[in-house]
Structure 1
């Protein structure tokens, strides 16, 4: 077996600068439930469809265990300042720590904003003008320097300023977890109240069905939850059994990285690459949701490879400590905005709502 290539300075330069260099770094990692092979895993459920389940042409069923967006939202907070009482987080020093103050005692980190720099929370705060200027600079000139200094994780995980400039930032890092060849299970349950409220005289007897339904919903009456083929399947889904594999696929898009321009572009790209390497090398969040606690397979391959333009794959050594060292050096060379706290502005939020309402009213009148 070929020994993995070390991430030398020369190789990092090729990743960030060479237009004929590798197109991506890729990881295919096998995961298993803590219960072991064959354990029941609970995917996320979605309104109206239940599990995100696809059937391939050969009949194989594939289910999403954690989507690209969900993985990004799990990984990005790794860069957040440590909570009080917890050890310092070395990753927090790599990016600006910017908080939005809401009211007197509530703050939200921009690293927790679902749409990142394009989130409504940002547009309704003292960060709005800086964010808009950074998006416009990128949109008009391909210059990502302001974005990298203000909110670099928006470049790593992607963002879309869909409510304002329409600027789109492609994901440099993408991760997704799917389970292959699955069978869907269902479950049933029966709630039994601690007492018979009617027999004890606490509630009167009634034959009114709607009244009894309400009593069941509030826990005053027996409440069964059973499998029904009537459009309510998501309420009684019981997880999946995986006959194939649970796989985490991670990609660092080096082509998208090399397209980031701006003043001191080489330092900018090396910095964003460093953050992407850190995010990729950190151990993944194991607890995805109730009934879905996953770890890397003991004997499963989890090696990184750089993928050439020809499709040739070459192993590379990527570990968390080396990635952190690379990112620290890159941040020092590039420089980012200082930590700060800005205020949420209810007036901005109200103006955005009124503008949207006026637009709908005018559109309706014109129609």
Structure 2
């Protein structure tokens, strides 16, 4: 029998004798039903990322760790999660706005160095490097602690992911698809170009007339998705060891605050529309296990409502950093983008 943890139970997870991780598992299926094709992400030079095990089983990466983080983090822009973190918006161009929650590298992103936040971000990373103190980061951009960040262009400070989510499909069979582009009119008959020119360029995807949509062009043997004969599964890990390593003037309040953010991120319902041809829906309830240091696994009934309730209490105790709007500074950007030898 699984039980719902109380706030006190959850708070104990940051203790030295607490569990090392939470593992959340969610079975998924195509919106069209089991056995229907889905389209994984494609990558340069390799297409689909499909690994083959020694027994011949093929496993496809449907959504990577980085992609999942970039899908989950913007949930903190909207109520009720918005009140849990400072809302930092960056204005640029003609009244356009970018939330820090949408910046791919979070507090370590180049866009931060192009604003008045640059100095604060630098000092926050230095505090982490020099004293192991994550308080300033938690006040400024706490989701950088949850989803990880690397200040690779400045201090080199690294924050490991506390929440890691990935979607894989097991025992997959890749498919191919073909298509035929047919122009709306016979442009050679209309003397836009000659019949000889049509014959020369038709069917050649790279030709000028094909590029402009004036001749027939076939497209064959293209990626057609995969069929999963096994499960499609989302696995989420909440790394409680990494969380315990976060220190500050009030380490316990800090750790409880970040734990709350991690739990709501890990349990938040996802929009299953990952890309064209890949819309997934749950094929069953979430299962959550608490993993002890000795490997013992205990089923717990942790739902999003419980996680949110705990996170709100922890955020109130810690104190959420101030929200603000800052402007993109082109001068800062130009200076930052110059080669290092020219800055001297």
Normalising by structure 2, what TM-score?
0.95
Residue 290 (structure 2) aligns with: 306
The answer to whether 1:119 aligns with 2:109 is yes
> Conserved in 2, the CA contact under 8 Å of 1:304 and 1:317?
yes
Distance 1:222 1:9 in 2: 65
Q: CA RMSD in A?
A: 1.7
Look up the match of 1:217.
Answer: 211
- For residues 1-367 of structure 1, what are the structure 2 equivalents within 5 Å? 2-4=1-3, 6-16=4-14, 18-81=15-78, 89-207=79-197, 209=200, 213-227=207-221, 236-297=222-283, 300=284, 302-356=286-340, 358=342
Q: Which runs of 5+ in 1 are unaligned?
A: 82-88, 228-235, 363-367
- Once residues 141 and 245 of structure 1 are traced to their aligned partners in structure 2, the CA distance between those partners, rounded to angstroms, is 45
Q: Does the 8 Å contact 2:201/2:210 carry over to 1?
A: no
After superposition, give the CA deviation of every residue in 1:106-154 in whole Å (9 maximum; x if it has no partner): 1100000000000011111111111111011011111000001110000
How far the C-alpha of 1:104 sits from its partner, in A, is 4.2
Structure 1 residue ranges, 4+ long, deviating more than 6 angstroms after superposition? none
SS in 1 for 2:230: coil
- When residues 308 and 41 of structure 1 are mapped into structure 2, their CA distance, relative to the original with a 3 A threshold, is same
Q: Indicate the SS of the match to 1:274.
A: helix
Asked if the contact 1:54–1:62 (Cα under 8 Å) also holds between the matched residues in 2, the reply is yes
Task: State the distance in 2 between where 1:328 and 1:3 align.
Answer: 24
Q: Is the 8 A contact 1:217 1:223 kept in 2?
A: no
User: In the TM superposition, what is the alpha-carbon distance from 1:356 to its structure 2 partner?
Assistant: 4.4
Tell me which residue corresponds to 1:230. none
SS at match of 2:313: helix
What is the TM-score with the length of structure 1 in the denominator?
0.89
Report how far residue 97 of structure 1 moved: 0.5
Question: How many residues were matched structurally?
Answer: 340
Q: Distance in 1 between matches of 2:38 and 2:238?
A: 27
Distance 1:358 1:62 in 2: 48
Kindly state the Cα deviation for residue 286 of structure 1 after the two structures are TM-superposed: 0.8
Between the aligned partners of 1:190 and 1:288, the Cα distance in structure 2 is 26
Equivalent position SS for 2:195: coil
1:61-104 alpha-carbon deviations (Å, 9 max, x no partner): 111000000000000000014xxxxxxx1111110001011134
In 2, the alpha carbon distance for the partners of 1:158 and 1:108 equals 19
Q: Aligned partners of 1:176 and 1:106: how far apart in 2?
A: 31
CA distance in structure 1 between the aligned counterparts of 2:282 and 2:80, rounded to whole angstroms: 24
How far apart are 1:32 and its partner, in Å?
Answer: 0.4
Secondary structure at the counterpart of residue 35 of structure 1: coil
Q: How far apart, CA to CA, are the structure 2 residues paired with 1:119 and 1:14? A: 33
Distance 1:139 1:104 in 2: 37
The alpha-carbon deviation at position 354 of structure 1 amounts to 1.2
Question: How far off its partner does 1:315 sit?
Answer: 1.2
Partner of 1:232: none
Q: Deviations over 1:294-335 (max 9, x none)?
A: 0111xx452101000111111112112221111111111111
Unaligned runs of 5+ in 2: none
TM-aligned CA deviation for residue 281 of structure 1? 1.5
3-state SS of paired residue (1:187): strand
2-structure distance, mates of 1:127, 1:60: 48
